[in-house]
Structure formats: C-alpha cells, structure tokens
Chains A and B, each alone.
Chain A
Amino acid sequence: MSGDRMFDDPMPDDPMEVPRATNGRAPDVFREGGWVPMREHSENEAVDFAIVGTGAGGGTLACKLAEAGFSVVAFDAGPYWRPLEDFASDETEQRKLFWTEDRLCDGDDPLKLGDNNSGRSVGGSTVHYAMVSLRFRPEWFQSRSKLGYGADWPIDWREMWRYYQEVERTLQISGPLSYPWGPKRPRYPRRPHELNAAALVLAKGAEALGIDWAPTPIATLSSPHGKAPPCVYRGFCTSGCSTNAKQSVLNTWLPRALAAGAEIRDLAMVGRIETDRAGLVTGVHYHRDGQWRFQRARNVVVAGYAIETPRLLLNSATDRFPDGLANSSGLVGSNLMVQLNQAVWGSMAEEVRSYKAPPSLALTEHWNYADDGKDFFGGYCYMSQGPLPIVWARTLAGSRGLWGEALMRQMERYNHQVGLKMVGECLPQERNRVTLADETDRYGLPVARVTYSYCDNDKRMMRHALGFMGQALEAAGATDLWEERDDTCHLNGTARMGSDPATSVVDADCRSWDIPNLWICDGSVFPTVGGVNPSLTIQAIACRTADRIQALAGRGAL
C-alpha cells in the first residue's frame, strides 16, 4: 500500500488516539493527508534493532542504521504528526507536544517537567525544540582532566567535530560565517537569519560590555530546502513549527529512515525489555492499540531521554538483573543533569515584539570559553528570548509573583519586554537521580521519581550569570529589570558513558557494559552537559554510534 492520497480508515484521523504508521504506510510530513510507504516487520521475527524512542538519539540512529542495511523498528509513545495540518498557532493546543505524564519531583530544587525538557511525539522533543544547535567546547570532552571538574568523555573532540558537521549538514543549520569561539569550524550550510529586535538587544549589550556575540546557529531554514520552505518568523517554534521550516528529527532523519526501510510505530509505549537466561535482551514489550505486544529483536536501543530511559531499564529488572538492566555500576538513573535556565528580564522604551521569529536568534558563548573571572566550574551561554503570551503570563505570575491588576499592567507591556536567558552547565551529582515510585501510570508501570538539588557550584554560576546578564540588559537600555531564578531546561545523564564499567553505564559506542546487545543512545549517556543546548551533540553521538555499530558488525563483534 503506497501512493498518493490513500484513506482507508473509517475512523477519524486523530493521531493521538489511533496510530497512523500502520498498514505499510506512514504519514508524509510534507503533505496534508499525505502518506509514504513504510516497510513492516513481523513481531515474531527478530529485527536487527528495536529502538525505543524516535527523538534526537533514537530517530537519528534509526535513520543511520536503516541506511546501513540493518532491519529497524523504532517505537515512540507519542503521535505521528503532520505539522502542516496538526499544528495550531495556539500555545494551549500545542501542549500536546509535551510529555505531561505523571512523575514525582522532589529534592531541594524540584524540577518543573513538561515543556522545555521533554517531548511526546514521533521526532521527540525536537518537534518543539528551540532549534539552537551548538557544538560543545572541545575541552568539555575532557573536563575532568583539562578543567578540573565533572567527568571525562571516552570520545575525542576531533572525532565529535566530524559528526557535528554531519548533523549540521543534515539539519541545514543557518549560522554565522565566522564563529567567534573555539577552533575553526566549517561553514554552516545556510546563512544566518535576520536578527529580530530582541536579538539586537543582546548584541547591543554584548558590544557595550566588550564581549563577542553571534547570530545563533539554528535549525530552521534561511532559504528553501527540498520540500521545506524557509522560516516565516511565525515565532511558535517551541509550540511546534507548522511550516516545516524547522529541521526536526520528524522531518529530516525520519523520512530518510522510512525510505531506507525502517519501520516506525507511533503511539507505542515500551514498558519492558525482555532478557533471556543467557543475560541477553530478546525484544521489547510495548503497548499499542489497547494491548500489550512483543517485538523480538537481536539488539535493543533505549533512547527515551534522561527520565524514561532509566525508568525503562529499572522497570525491566529480573532475577538475574535485580537492580535493573545495565546497572551493575548502580549508576542507572544517577547523575541526572539539567541546565540552568535563569533569565533577566526588562523593558525597553521602544516596541520589541520579541515573539516574532525564532526565540533565540542571537547568543554569546563568552562564558563558555573564558576561564578567568569565574568563581565556578563549567560554563554558560545566554541567548535572546521570545516568550509567547501564555508562557509570559505564567512567568510573570509564577516567577515574579504578579497577580490581578499588577499582572494585567505588565501584560500590557508585553511588546516592550526583553530578556536574556542562560543555558548553564550543572555539575553531575550522584544524588540527583531518577528512581521508581510506588505509583503507577495508565499502563500500570511504576512512574519515575525525579530528585534534584543544585550544588554550590550551580548556585555560584547562577549568581554570576544573573549579574552579568543584568549588566548587559541595562547597557542595552532596558529598565525595570528583574530576575527569573527558578527555571531549568534539558535533561541529561542517568546512564553515563565512560571507559570504566565500574563508573559508567555504557562505553563510548553507547553499548551497555553489562549486556552486549543492549544500547543506550540519547542525552542519558552524557557524562557532563556543557553550557550549550544538547540536541546537536545527541544527534552527533547517534551518528557516531551508527558508524561504530557498522564497524563492529563488519568484524562480527555485534
């Protein structure tokens, strides 16, 4: 079954209720009501790879493995959207993109989970990410040896540099012609976007304080590419891009994956990984269409991001692996790292209308690369901001404590608001972790308990950044400044990679130390997070993992 418009479901086409990728076809993300052919695999025959999750890690890996000739089935708990027909210019409606299942949050600084750190869609959270596509500072891959904090990665930065380039080409990143920080990098495939007024405020502030700034390398098109039009600066990026200008996993890697013969199962929640007596994984139990099913597989890749990945590993405990799979180190779930997402907001005399265009068009990585003048380890960047009205009202009510008439008066100043927001490196701490709670979810699976507390280093960085961003905003002419101190973003760690089985969960190839046919490929494997958004690095790791799997298969070492 393939071809142009084929409609044979008597059911209404609600992608949140009825799986779309069935009967040999998957949604064509580039056409309303369109389909593309999809190869299907039998549940009883073991596929080469069952991949749990189709985001930056799993989706990228599914594509690369399918293109290398492996049989691949990728599962996602979320729906398979067609952005052109499913995405509204409505923040409330678009909350459907977030993972808002029950979780318990505790610790000294309980996390707010949902919008900026999770996704429940085929394509994962890249469907609503802010598209900021930054490379790690090279030293961060050896932050323990070179900078004295965190843990070393088992991968050389030069190797990562090559994979970064592959991802940047795939996503057709728009970026500046010369990047002010770090070693020379190849030219970005697309030119930078025009800066909006909010980005110009960042630039003015940076110039006033004498530090470098740059147009943000960003995964939305600045000129047409394939079936995708260039960005129209609609500004709903973090609520889902309805034009396909955003280059997400959903409209880049996955169409390629399907064309290469991968199968994608949407609305398919994997609840347990099965292991045999030999201690190898044999497949995954997943819930789809109202029933539990089982897919046999020769290898299983877990790519559910830093909460669902350890949850699945812990939920798959057996007599042989009583603490969960891949957990002989006891580190599955620990070293959870968010990133600091504090902001300074202010008001400009002139209109800014910061909601126009992608929210973070300009950035400075100055404090990622400068090591002097810091009283903390790690680094941070900060970017211009463009919150949509509901997010902004929630920020004013929640973080600034405004209500009633005071809130109304501030909302009237919406078009004049401007802000700088950091993405800061939190240090890995074993006490920050994902464990299983006693409560269960709608599938009867124990929900995740997420425990988080800042360390003193995190707090020092926060203070430094808030002070500096405040100076920058003031220098750019903003008044009525206030600090938003309680926000975090992104999730990493919980199944770190390393070169020692005693202190890490997977090796450099994302292969678990304990079970040779179990792999983990998402942000969970990060030993440290750095001061940049993680999506580019996750995809680069996935590309590297695919190459390594191919190499291992080539010499019969799978």
Chain B
Amino acid sequence: MDDMTRGAASVPARLDQRPTRPARGAAWAVAGLAALSAGAALALRRRARPQRRLEGPPPVTLRVAKDLNRSAALLGLAALADSAVEHYRGSFHNPAMVTPLAVSTAVIGVSLFGTLDDRPRAHAVRDAAYGGAILTGAVGTGFHLFNVTKRPGGLSWLNLFYGAPIGAPSAVALAGLLGFFAERVRHTRPGEAPAKAPKVLGVPAADALAALVSLGILGTVAETALLHFRGAFHDPAMYLPMVVPPVGAALLAGTVLSGNGRPAMASTRAARWGLRATAALGFVGVGFHAFGVHRNMGGWRNWSQNILNGPPLPAPPSYTALALAGLATLSLEEDRRHAR
C-alpha cells in the first residue's frame, strides 16, 4: 500500500491530462441548463394563455401569432449562437459574415416585441426584420453554395462536409418566415372581427404553416443527416434526429393537409405528441452535443477549442423552435375545425 501511494505521488501531473470527471460534470451542467431552459420555454408557452383585455377572450389567431413569434425568437437565437460560433471560427474573414448575427439579433428583438404586443395588427418594424431575415437566409445560402463549389472538387461530399454548411443560412430564413406568418395570422383589418380561418397569400394559414414547418423540419433533418454522416454516426443517439423529427413533421402534415378537412382527433393527438417529442429532442440534443464536446481531446477543460471543434451546441434547439411552431399550427387547425 505504501509503495502504491509513493508511486502515485511520483507520477508527474500533466496539463493535458484527459479530464474525465470534470468533463462529465460540465456535460451534465450543460445538459441541466438545457433542461432548465426547456422548462422555461414550456412555462412561457403556458403563459401564452389569452389575457383578458378585450371584452371577450383574445382570438386564437393572436395567441397563435405570439406562439409563432416565440418560435421565431428561439430559432433566431439558435441561428445567432450557431453563426456566431461558426463565423468566429472562420475569423469573420468576409465582413458579410457579421450579417446573420445582426439579423438574427433583430429577429429575436422584434419577436419578443411581438410576444408582448396584444394588438391584432401586423407591425412594420417586425415585418421589416422578418423580411430581412428571409433575404439574409437566401443570400447566405448563395454565399455558402459559392464557398462550397469554388473549392477543388466542386460540389463533392468533402466540400459539403467541410465547406460553409449549405443548410445553415436557411435557419435564419426560417426564423424570418415564421415571423412573417405570425404577422399575417395576427393581422385583422380595422373594424373586422379576427378571421376564423386566416389566410396567408391566399392559402389557409394552417395549411401554409404546416407545409412550412414540415419542410423546415425535413430540411433541418437533411442538414443533420449530412453532419452526422460526417461523424460516421459514431454514437447510436445520432440516429434520433433521423427518426423523431421526420415522424413529427409527417404527422403534422398528415393532420393538417389531409385534404377532406375532417381529420380524426386521434391524428391531432398523435401529431401533438410527435411535435412534443421533436421539441424535447432539441433540448436533449444539446446535452448529447455537450457530451460530444467532451469526447474531443482535452474534453471540456479545453472548452475554448472543443466548442469550435465538437458538435455545435446551438444546433439542436432548431428542432424545438420548429416543433413549437408546429404545435401552434395545430391550434390554428383545431380552431379552423371548430369553425366548420
């Protein structure tokens, strides 16, 4: 025993020792934080109950619009954090790389404003910010595509893996689109009662939203698939986003877009649970990604490098944002059904 103790003391302490315990601690701390924010978000959602300021309860459209503002804010936050980390990693070598940071910050700001605004009117500032986000997403996709194709090998797997991520700017655009929909759903012409079945660009809002959210989820799944494939699906949990969000998206689209307008209660309930699972996965994913950061050399002790190298912490909450928008869509759909 004495020998063992003496031997242990003689082992030189090294700075680059792999920190198993602290790393796990940090991973759990991040996972805890993620869970906490999940709780907060759900609480916020709860508080989105009608506030009694008008004579009757506020219309469903206002509640849904605020839900969509909230989704846009969360998606904007994910896009802000992700583009901040990734563009910092790219040293902001092109000044345009600041744009998504500014635009997603604006989206977050106007979205929070929207959640506090009880007026059933679209707002020019919000529309401007959301429009800017849509434009930024489109232009950003162009930039990223250019970055990928200008590399030797062109549009190859290698360049899709390591060039600017093609799908990333779409998150900013999606945040803008959710906000744009929020404004349209909210808006009532002066003197008119809120529409029972609001329309966006001539299409019933519930249908348009269901399509947007489902496609948004599927696009995000495609991005996740590419990057998890790059990581060789080395952890079986990396298959979760290949399964859960597509199911949520399919159930949502199936419920809302099924055509005859009389979907069963069961299908709505299934869609709700599918979207809740998708929302939860977004938070759980942050925990998994925190664990993934720990599996890089030096673990969380080397956080300043490994947050950049490891799986992106802000990426998974995009699923939560889109799933929350999906849940709002279901409310709109139920309202439409009651009106029939």
The interface of chain A, by Cβ under 8 A from chain B, is: 5-10, 12-13, 31-33, 84-85, 176-177, 189-192, 194-195, 200, 203-204, 207, 213, 215, 222-225, 229-230, 232, 242-243, 245
Contacts and interface: CB of A to CB of B under 8 A. Distances in A.
B8 A224 contact: no
Contact of A7 (B3, B161, B232): B3
Given A177-B157, A191-B231, 13 more contacts: A84-B18, A85-B14, A176-B157, A176-B158, A191-B157, A191-B161, A200-B152, A204-B152, A222-B231, A223-B230, A224-B234, A230-B295, A232-B309
Interface in B117-162: 151-153, 157-158, 161-162
Contacts of B235: 224
Contact of B10 (A7, A195, A204): A7
Contacts of B230: 191, 222-223
A192 to B, nearest CB: 6
B237 interface: no
B152 A203 contact: yes
B296 A203 contact: no
Q: Nearest 5 A-B pairs (CB), nearest first?
A: A7-B7, A203-B152, A224-B295, A194-B162, A229-B297
B11 A223 contact: no
Contacts of A191: 157, 161, 229-232
**Residue with the highest number of chain B CB atoms closer than 10 Å, among A176, A225, A232:** A232
A225 B234 contact: yes
Contact of A245 (B14, B18, B297, B305): B297
Contacts of A5: 4, 8
Given A32-B11, A222-B232, A224-B292, A194 B161 contact: yes
Nearest to A200: B152
B297 A243 contact: yes
Contacts of A224: 234-235, 292, 295-296
24 contacts: A7-B4, A7-B6, A7-B8, A7-B10, A7-B11, A8-B3, A8-B4, A9-B7, A84-B17, A176-B157, A191-B229, A191-B230, A195-B158, A200-B151, A200-B152, A203-B152, A204-B152, A229-B296, A230-B295, A230-B296, A230-B297, A230-B309, A242-B16, A243-B297
A189 B6 CA distance: 44
Nearest to A362: B152
**Residue with the highest number of chain B CB atoms closer than 10 Å, among A9, A31, A189, A229:** A229
B125 to A, nearest CB: 41
A192 B156 CA distance: 12
B173 to A, nearest CB: 26
A223 B10 contact: no
Nearest to A7: B7
Contacts of A189: 232
B2 to A, nearest CB: 10
A10 B8 CA distance: 11
A9 B299 CA distance: 31
A432 to B, nearest CB: 39
Contacts, number: 87
B229 to A, nearest CB: 7
A33 B9 CA distance: 11
Contacts of A10: 3, 6
Given A6-B4, A8-B7, A200-B152, A229 B231 contact: no
Given A191-B232, A224-B296, A229-B297, A203 B10 contact: no
Interface of B: 3-4, 6-8, 10-12, 14, 16-18, 151-153, 157-158, 161-162, 229-232, 234-235, 292, 295-297, 305, 309
Nearest to B162: A194
A32 B17 contact: yes
**Residue with the highest number of chain A CB atoms closer than 10 Å, among B18, B295, B297:** B297
B18 A190 contact: no
A223 B232 contact: yes
A190 B234 CA distance: 9
Contacts of B10: 7, 12-13
B21 to A, nearest CB: 13
Nearest to A227: B18
**Residue with the highest number of chain A CB atoms closer than 10 Å, among B152, B153, B235:** B152
Nearest to B152: A203
Contacts of A192: 157-158, 161
Contacts of B232: 189-191, 222-223
A494 to B, nearest CB: 38
B224 to A, nearest CB: 15
**Residue with the highest number of chain A CB atoms closer than 10 Å, among B8, B153, B162, B235:** B153
A6 B8 CA distance: 8
A542 B234 CA distance: 27
**Residue with the highest number of chain A CB atoms closer than 10 Å, among B11, B18, B151, B158:** B158
A204 B14 CA distance: 42
A207 to B, nearest CB: 6
A230 B292 CA distance: 11
Nearest to B3: A8
A281 B230 CA distance: 50
B240 to A, nearest CB: 17
Given A8-B7, A32-B11, A232 B296 contact: yes
Contacts of A32: 11, 14, 17-18
A504 to B, nearest CB: 40
**Residue with the highest number of chain A CB atoms closer than 10 Å, among B4, B292, B296:** B296
Nearest to A6: B4
B120 to A, nearest CB: 50
Contacts of A245: 297
Nearest to B9: A7
Contacts of B231: 191, 222-223
A203 B234 contact: no
**Residue with the highest number of chain A CB atoms closer than 10 Å, among B18, B229, B232:** B232
Contacts of B152: 200, 203-204, 207, 213
A363 B183 CA distance: 54
Nearest to A242: B16
Contacts of B3: 7-8, 10
Nearest to A5: B8
A37 to B, nearest CB: 16
A223 B232 CA distance: 7
Nearest to B1: A8
B234 A223 contact: yes
Contacts of B17: 32, 84
A8 B7 CA distance: 6
Nearest to A177: B157
A32 B10 CA distance: 12
Contacts of A242: 16
Contacts of B153: 203
A243 B162 CA distance: 22
B91 to A, nearest CB: 13
Contacts of A12: 10
A43 to B, nearest CB: 26
A191 B151 CA distance: 18
Nearest to B154: A207
A195 B163 CA distance: 10
A204 B150 CA distance: 11
B11 A33 contact: yes
A193 to B, nearest CB: 8
A223 B310 CA distance: 9
Contacts of A223: 230-232, 234
A132 B267 CA distance: 54
Contacts of B157: 176-177, 191-192
A204 B12 CA distance: 46
Contacts of B162: 194-195
B19 to A, nearest CB: 11
